[in-house]
Every structure is written in structure tokens, then in C-alpha cells.
């Protein structure tokens, strides 16, 4: 991650978004080319659209044919690491744009530094992963506990490289770890208020609800670009997640200790079926991609826990990077269709309390 104290002109994408304004400001970005496409305007003029990414965010750079870097941008390859220096300006409607841009490839040392990512974000995600493992270790149902442990053993490293979404929330390397950990904390709190909920099933459902995204939103080991896979394109993350659970379930039930679970109630097939329902129904609506609506208390609770964490992360991003139209009012921030208003601060705690 750029050290702003040692090199104040070198910013992350998130830092740039938070300070960009209508006045040009000179900054440099160290980024990876996540995507490049040659397009044409409505009048037929050619331009190159380049999606740039670092450990925490992404930015689209549109290079038109009258730009002196048009040919250089057209020759960029997906996966290349570059420095883009410019006078950066927030145009409003068209977002942040680089004026008078300068482009060069990063050195091996600069590339390694960039790939090491934001040290604070890395510490946060490591702590989140530890919390996920801890919550799973507290599961009392031996079948669900074994299932979660096997998933973390076989796919934990891939989970650490997966985003929770393409763009709307936790859309960064390791974002799914952040999302799952926070959902587990929320689910445990909800189960404390509603003790009739099956906590073991809720924790397991949170872990697996987006597990298909390990093949839909996963980053390569040395890349900030999400990999495209045929299986994700053809099936999507919900069917993929259900298939993965069935595969891991068979593996768990073939273990010698599974013989001890034959008389555990509820029956194993019922436990598996309820878990699959949580994955299938977690989008909450047919029009949002779920093949079935939530039909159990845990399914509806999981849907809302998922939605709460995703939406609050979107608010956080809007407050961090959105454009302030007036004091406390932030311009609508995708995917919100309305302007965002600053939250009401809590009354400070008095010393004698």
C-alpha cells in the first residue's frame, strides 16, 4: 500500500476518491489493469475503457482518441501493473478523470509492494477469518461442525482471495471474509434475541450462503482482477454453492466418525436439506435470483442479516467516497437511487456514567 506519509503524492484509489474535487489535483496511482475494452461513442468515435484496481477499490479510466495516451492505453494488457500520474478532477456526472495523464509500468519492487496490499486491511481480514473459524468451532451439531471445518481446510485460502460482490459491497480481494465474519456476529446477536432460531444452522448458513462466489468472484493469487470461469457464467453462485455443500457433505458422511451420528436428531438428511434451503433462498426474492423464497425462520433471518450487512457497507462507502452536495447530504451513490444523508451522531457518554 502507498505510504502517504513517506510519499504524499502516491494514493490508493479509495484515498483519491475521498479527496477528489472539481479542482485538478496532482496525484499518482499504482494499480493493476483489471480489464481493457475498445469501444465507440454514440457518434462512432473510438475510445478505450480501462478498469484499474488495487487492494481496496477500482476505477474506470476512459481514454478517447484525442488523448495523447490513447495508443498506449490501447496496448495495455489485462494484468499489467502501472503508475498513472495526472491532474485528477471529479467531473461529477462522469466521475473522477485524469487530466494530463502520464503512464509507466511498475518495477518489480513496486509491484511487490502493491500486491502486499493495505496492511491495516490485511490485519482486519486476518482477524475476521479467525472469528469465522472460532464461530464454526463453537457449533454443537457434529455434522455441521465437521462440514464447516472441512470447507475451511479445503477452501479457506481461496475464501481469503474472494470478493463478496462484483461492485456494490465488499467488492475487493478478501471482501467475502469481511462480509461472512460480520454476518456471523450479527447472526449470533439475532439468535440471542430469538432463541428459537437454530444457531448452528445459522452460522453454517452464513458460511456457505455465498460459497459459490469462490468460483464467481475469486482473485488470482497475484492479482487484483477477479477471474472469470465458465462454471460461474453458466450456473451462478447459488447453484454452485448448493453443489459444493452436497459434495462436502458426502465427504463428511463417509468418515468413520459418521457412524456415531446415525442416531443424532434431527436426522442428517433433514439437516442437509435445511442448509441447502438457506443457500437457495438467501436472496429473498425470485426476481433477485433465488430459485425459492425463504420458508423457514432461519432462511428469512439469514436473508435479512445478509441484506443488513451489504446495505450498511454501501452506506459506509458512500460516506467515505461520495460527493457532498450540501452539509450532511451526499449525492446518490450506486446502487442507491436517492441522495444519502449523514447519520445522527449518538449522544456522547458522560464521564460519570
Model confidence pLDDT, tens digit, residues 242-275? 999 999 999 999 999 999 999 999 999 999 999 9
- Mean pLDDT in residue range 4-25: 84
| Residue 16, phi-psi category: left (phi > 0), alpha (psi -120 to 50), beta (remainder) | alpha
Chain centroid to Cα 241, Å, comes to 17
Distances (CA, A) of 119 to 3, 81, 162, 192: 10, 19, 18, 34
Strands 324-326 and 10-11, sheet pairing: unpaired
Sign for the CA dihedral angle at 185, 189, 191, 192 comes to positive
- Most confident region among 62-66, 88-92, 299-303, 317-321 by mean pLDDT: 299-303
- Mean pLDDT in residue range 68-90: 94
Separation of alpha carbons 136 and 176, rounded Å:
16
Model confidence pLDDT, tens digit, residues 128-164? 999 999 999 999 999 999 999 999 999 999 999 999 9
Which of 2-6, 234-238, 249-253, 283-287 comes out lowest in average pLDDT? 2-6
The yes/no answer on whether domain 10-114 falls in CATH 3.40.50.300 is: no
Amino acid at each position: 500500500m502507498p505510504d502517504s506519509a513517506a510519499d504524499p503524492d502516491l494514493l490508493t484509489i479509495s484515498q483519491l476518491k475521498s479527496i477528489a474535487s472539481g479542482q485538478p489535483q496532482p496525484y499518482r496511482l499504482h494499480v493493476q489493469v483489471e480489464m481493457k475494452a475498445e469501444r465507440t461513442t454514440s457518434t462512432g468515435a473510438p475510445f478505450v475503457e480501462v478498469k484499474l484496481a488495487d487492494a481496496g477499490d477500482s476505477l474506470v479510466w476512459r481514454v478517447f482518441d484525442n488523448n495523447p495516451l490513447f495508443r498506449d492505453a490501447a496496448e495495455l494488457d489485462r494484468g499489467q501493473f502501472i503508475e498513472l500520474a495526472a491532474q485528477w478532477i471529479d467531473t461529477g456526472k462522469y466521475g473522477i478523470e485524469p487530466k494530463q495523464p502520464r503512464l509507466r509500468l511498475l518495477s518489480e519492487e513496486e509491484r511487490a509492494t502493491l500486491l502486499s496490499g493495505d496492511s491495516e486491511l490485511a490485519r482486519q481480514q486476518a482477524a475476521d477469518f479467525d472469528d469465522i473459524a472460532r464461530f464454526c468451532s463453537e457449533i454443537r451439531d457434529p455434522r455441521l461442525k465437521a462440514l464447516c471445518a472441512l470447507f475451511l481446510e479445503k477452501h479457506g485460502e481461496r475464501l481469503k482471495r474472494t470478493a463478496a460482490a462484483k461492485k456494490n459491497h465488499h467488492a475487493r480481494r478478501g471482501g467475502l471474509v469481511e462480509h461472512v465474519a460480520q454476518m456471523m456476529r450479527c447472526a449470533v446477536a439475532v439468535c440471542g434475541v430469538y432463541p428459537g432460531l437454530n444457531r448452528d444452522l445459522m452460522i453454517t448458513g452464513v458460511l456457505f450462503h455465498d460459497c459459490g462466489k469462490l468460483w464467481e468472484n475469486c482473485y488470482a493469487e497475484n492479482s487484483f482482477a477477479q477471474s472469470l470461469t465458465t462454471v460461474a457464467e453458466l450456473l451462478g453462485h447459488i447453484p454452485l454453492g448448493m453443489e459444493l455443500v452436497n459434495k462436502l457433505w458426502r465427504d463428511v458422511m463417509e468418515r468413520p466418525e459418521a457412524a456415531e451420528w446415525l442416531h443424532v436428531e434431527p436426522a442428517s438428511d433433514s439437516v442437509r436439506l435445511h442448509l441447502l434451503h438457506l443457500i437457495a433462498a438467501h436472496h429473498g426474492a425470485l426476481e433477485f435470483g433465488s430459485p425459492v423464497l425463504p420458508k423457514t425462520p432461519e432462511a428469512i433471518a439469514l436473508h435479512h442479516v445478509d441484506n443488513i450487512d451489504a446495505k450498511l457497507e454501501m452506506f459506509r462507502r458512500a460516506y467515505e467516497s461520495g460527493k457532498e452536495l450540501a452539509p450532511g447530504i451526499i449525492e446518490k451513490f450506486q446502487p442507491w437511487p436517492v441522495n444519502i444523508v449523514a447519520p445522527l451522531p449518538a449522544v456522547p457518554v458522560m464521564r460519570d456514567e
